[in-house]
Amino acid sequence: MRYSKSLCRLACLAAFLPLIGSAIPAHALSITFSGQNPITIRDTDPGQMPGVITLGLMTEQGYGVTGKLVSTTSATQSAVTLQGFHATYLQGAPGGLVTVTFQETFAGPAPSPPVTAIESISAVFQNDYGSNQIGGFNSLLEGSFVGATFINPIMSSGNNGPIQFNPPFGNFSAIIDGHGPAQIAMGGPPWTLEGSFMFALSPRVAGVAGFPGDSLVYTQDIRITVPAPASVTLVLLSLALFLLRAWRETNRGRVNSN
């Protein structure tokens, strides 16, 4: 009886072993806004949730910021996504360049490298009051990393390096782009995914009082993918079936002997 129970336990363990290789967030999700007194928010801070950071702050440069940073994971994929990031130039703000850096460390996924890394972004410079008269001095420079490895190349242009975008005066200006796919052979596990972007916003057009300036609506998604270890899974499944069959044979013999 003990022997049959042990076989059953081994069969259950073998059946679930493929799930053990799933990526596990280390709950080290963080986002930092540059300045003389940098602002860093972690998912371990009061009011936050593991793997999720909800934003609502004003930076030193005078930009009002909202949005959400989320990390997700599965057996074959890990991702960090900055969702619905919205920065607005507030009235009377000093302005200037701000660097935003966010990252999460995952304790997987298995097996070892390489992994396939890809990043996508969406950026829109606009005016929150229905006018297309943006200031013209808005700028954006962004990139994504797996560990210390920069994800190359740029998807649309094919040029290596970060995307730099300076919209023309007087228009709504948007960009959809990204980096990858790229094979990353070094850096994990564990894997640290990091996104970084610098932006500056323009104040309200001269002569229009009572309104703040331009805003940036931005998303950035970084993910790594590992092909499912099919051969390992097949071996484990075969082992599980073998053990289950042995357990049944043992039970059948015990019933017949009774």
Looking at residue 60, its pLDDT comes to: 96
pLDDT digits (tens, 9 = 90+) for 195-244: 999 999 988 766 666 667 889 999 999 999 987 654 444 445 555 555 55
Looking at residue 161, its pLDDT comes to: 60
Looking at residue 125, its pLDDT comes to: 87
Looking at residue 228, its pLDDT comes to: 60
pLDDT digits (tens, 9 = 90+) for 155-175: 776 555 667 766 666 556 678
Nearest to 202 by CA among 166, 177, 176: 166
Q: What average pLDDT score do residues 140-153 get?
A: 89
Looking at residue 126, its pLDDT comes to: 85
Strand partners, 146: 149, 193
| Range of weakest confidence among 80-84, 111-115, 191-195 | 111-115
Looking at residue 127, its pLDDT comes to: 78
pLDDT digits (tens, 9 = 90+) for 107-138: 866 556 788 999 999 998 887 666 666 777 78
The fraction of the chain above a pLDDT of 70, given in percent, is 63
Q: Would the pLDDT of 44 be above 90?
A: yes
Looking at residue 64, its pLDDT comes to: 96
Looking at residue 11, its pLDDT comes to: 43
* This prediction's pTM: 0.77
Looking at residue 229, its pLDDT comes to: 56
Count of alpha carbons within 13 angstroms of residue 171, beta-carbon side: 7
Q: Would the pLDDT of 9 be above 60?
A: no
- Distance separating the N- and C-terminal Cα atoms of the chain: 13
Looking at residue 174, its pLDDT comes to: 76
User: pLDDT category, 176, cuts 50, 70, 90?
Assistant: confident
Distance CA 176, CA 142 (A): 12
Looking at residue 92, its pLDDT comes to: 84
Q: What average pLDDT score do residues 145-160 get?
A: 78
Looking at residue 210, its pLDDT comes to: 62
Q: Give the strand pairing for 163-165 and 139-146.
A: antiparallel
Looking at residue 85, its pLDDT comes to: 98
